[in-house]
Structure 1
Amino acid sequence: MLADRLIVAVGGNALQRRGERLTIENMLKASADMAPTIAALAKEHEVVLVHGNGPQVGELALERSAATFDVLGAESTGQIGYVLAQALSSVGCTAVPIVTQVVVDPQSEAFRNPTKFVGPVYGPKEAHALAESLGWIVKPDGEYFRRVVPSPPPMEILQVEAVRTLLEHSPDVLPIACGGGGVPVSRVPSRPETLQGVEAVIDKDACASKLALELEADGLIILTDGGGIWKNFGKVDAQEMAQVTPEYLLGSKAGKKFPGSMGPKIEAAVNFVENSKNRQTAYAIIGDLKDAAKMLSNEEGTIIKDDVPSRVVWRERHEEGTPKPPKLTRDPPKYG
């Protein structure tokens, strides 16, 4: 399942592991661990790297309460882009970070229902105390709680032509774009050519999906720290999907059944496959960063595409956890 052009999205948590302090040293170590995986993909494919910034932008907001999230987003994007480019250079891959501005609607419904997780995780008592003292909105992120801020959908990626130019004229360069979902901006109604910052954080997976569509990518890969798409995740009867159609995911409302940030990842993957100009061959993959080398061959992770027998194929595993070839099921179980 080789592709010429891949958009690879890596979460901000890949550079800020839970339980670790957000320091440059830890970011450098995490990016050094990640770099060989990304470089290996770039050797075989045309890759654009998108990264998250949730933990980093949240930490910056704690340090600089007077700064707006568009400015903090630009700062964190520059910082993370530098760290990733340095790590990739050490494994022979030249990367060019682009601080990308993304137009959003300042009147979006997202501002009335904040959903984007930023900053570190907290226990219930600490999260409640911070919400009371600082006026935050906090929501569950798995077993923890985190601050949430508005996350309007991306409408226009302003530097997309710069990315396209690098892909077409500098094939040995890996563009890093739409970091943190891009810096949120809006157009001034009376002067559309004039941009102004917006107090929000755009979801990086939604922006990666839009970037993949605009660049007519063959595949969108969303790398996580928790594997692919699961039924009954974390329970004794948990099952991981090996392959699944957008139709099945939408019919089962899978995106609304997953806690934390998995829902937006599924939504972004489905959006890319459904709206791709090359829908018959387009695909998205969601899987663990450490399994990236095995995801294109479907040994790990979940592939979302149109051509899937029975709409879903469940992955079987030995007791030791090693994967078996996917087994087809006639009547796939519904989400619980």
Structure 2
Amino acid sequence: MLAIGGNALLRGGRRATIAEQFEAARQLAAPVAAMVRAGTRVVVTHGNGPQVGFIKRRSDLVAEIAPELPLLDLDMCVADSQGSIGYILARGLSGALPAGVRPVAVLTHTVVDAADPAFTRPTKPIGTHYARDEAERLAALHGWAIGEDAGRGWRRLVPSPAPRLVVEQDAIAALLAAGQLVIAGGGGGIPVVAAPDGSLRGVEAVVDKDATSALLARGLGAQELVITTGVERIALDFGTPHERFVDLLHWDEAERHLADGQFPEGSMGPKVRAALDFLAGGGSSVLITSPAALGAALAGRAGTRIVGASPAGVRAPAPAVRADDPAVRVDAADLDRNVAAAET
């Protein structure tokens, strides 16, 4: 399971042209193709933090001058980003893969719990980084929740409920069994809840792609989860005179550092948490590195590897659930209440 950050196509988050995004995807092709040639079955997931914010902002701005065009809710924006990023990745990877292997992008839904408290506490940064005064102006104008993003500026915050089920998991498994490279779980998956009649209803949220990647990897029985981010290795005491990079972390060390605040939300925190969830579910190891260092990291020359099953006495996260499980079913009143809370 290879989880690519949304910034990987944007050269560190700036507004890259479409041509530059295709080139960034092509640069990922060599290490991915090497894995496939070695006999590894690969699923590529991807983030959409910048892109989904751009899509939502574009929709809001267009509506001001063309009110006949429908506003896009966040679930629609995630679906939009899955299509465009999936296309970019598929094109970038296709020329490097062995004969008979094609990249297949799967529109992916992720079931969340409508009672998840995340709907009332927006934490997921999306879109553009702003100076504080501009972010506050936009927040007052549009009713956004905003927050500082790891010292890189201020961004819009949206709800990010925990993923409970990847609806297309069996289809993804079938494509893997057929020898294809699968692109799935884009932007954490389109966030949906299961209504009492069994239908899926979209909600205003963006699911963390690393959490969904860990959940899907567990469901597929993957042995390794690879997460790319903006740095080559994990750092402890990041940004201080005592900053140091680490090559290897055991479960208990990673869990302790996470609890101590070494890995903040909005940057390394969700990635380490996803790593622990994956290992607790039976995964062998997690590799965290940058896109540029991916090839070297897969060869053991870069990156940070997290290993080790959960120690005795530590409860593993709950297993994946089915869409018809009562825990992920919700009546219309619950859904409407949480959507309304997310919009205020």
TM-score range relative to shorter protein: 0.7 to 0.9
Instruction: Measure, in 2, the Cα distance between the counterparts of 1:298 and 1:240.
Output: 15
Aligned match for 2:56, one of 51, 56, 61 = 61
Matched residues, number? 293
> What SS does structure 1 have at the residue aligned with 2:84?
helix
Q: Which amino acid aligns with 1:158?
A: V
Residue 187 of structure 2 is matched in structure 1 by 180
Find out whether 1:73 has 2:78 as its counterpart.
Answer: yes
What is the aligned partner in structure 2 of residue 220 from structure 1?
Answer: 225
1:244 maps to which of 245, 249, 252? 249
Equivalent residue in structure 2 for 1:108, among 102, 112, 116: 116
Mark the CA change 1:67 to 1:97 in structure 2 (over 3 Å): closer, same or farther.
same
Identity %: 38
Instruction: Confirm or deny: 8 A CA contact 1:10 1:222 kept in the other structure.
Output: yes
Which region of structure 1 is more displaced relative to structure 2, 264-273 or 137-146?
A: 137-146
Unaligned runs of 5+ in 1: 1-6, 308-336
DSSP-derived class of the 1:155 partner: strand
Whole-angstrom distance in 1 between the partners of 2:16 and 2:194:
34
Q: Is the 8 A contact 1:255 1:266 kept in 2?
A: no
- After TM superposition, the structure 1 = structure 2 runs for residues 1-336 of structure 1, keeping only pairs within 5 Å, are 7-18=1-12, 20-44=14-38, 45-65=40-60, 66-92=71-97, 94-143=102-151, 144-168=153-177, 170-171=178-179, 173-189=180-196, 191=197, 193-253=198-258, 256-259=261-264, 260-276=266-282, 282-306=284-308
Q: Which has the higher strand share?
A: 1
Amino acid of the structure 1 residue aligned with 2:156: R
Please give the per-residue CA displacement for 1:9-52, whole angstroms capped at 9, x wherever unaligned: 00000012346325422322221222223222322221100011
Output the amino acid matched with 1:78: G
Indicate how the Cα distance of structure 1 residues 128 and 18 shifts in structure 2: closer, same or farther if over 3 A, else same.
Answer: farther
Deviations 1:233-264 (A, max 9, x none): 12332111211112112223357333332100
Normalised TM-score (structure 2)? 0.81
Cα 1:187/1:89, change in 2 over 3 Å? same
Distance in 1, Cα, partners of 2:158 & 2:79 = 16
Partners in 1 of 2:168 and 2:13 — Cα distance?
35
- Contact residue 145 and residue 156 of structure 2 kept, 8 A: yes
Q: Distance in 2 between matches of 1:255 and 1:56?
A: 31
Structure 2 gaps, min length 5: 61-70, 310-344
Looking at structure 1, the residues matched to 207 and 277 of structure 2 have their Cα atoms a distance apart, in angstroms, of 16
CA RMSD in angstroms, aligned pairs only: 1.7
State the distance in 1 between where 2:24 and 2:141 align.
Answer: 33
CA–CA separation in structure 2 for the residues paired with 1:248 and 1:202: 26
2 CA distance for matches of 1:18 and 1:106?
Answer: 33
TM-score (norm 1): 0.83
Residues 244 and 81 of structure 1: CA distance in aligned 2, closer, same or farther (over 3 Å): same
8 Å CA contact 1:49–1:177 kept in 2: the answer is yes
Shift of 1:82: 0.7
Residues 95-126 of structure 1, C-alpha deviation per residue, up to 9 Å, x if partnerless? 00001011111121111111111112122222
How much has 1:179 moved relative to structure 2?
0.7
Moved over 6 A (4+): none
Letter in 1 for 2:157: V
Task: Give the AA of the match of 1:152.
Answer: P
AA aligned opposite 1:293? G
For 1:220 and 1:208, the matched residues in 2 are separated by 8
**Structure 2 CA distance for aligned equivalents of residues 224 and 292 of structure 1:** 10
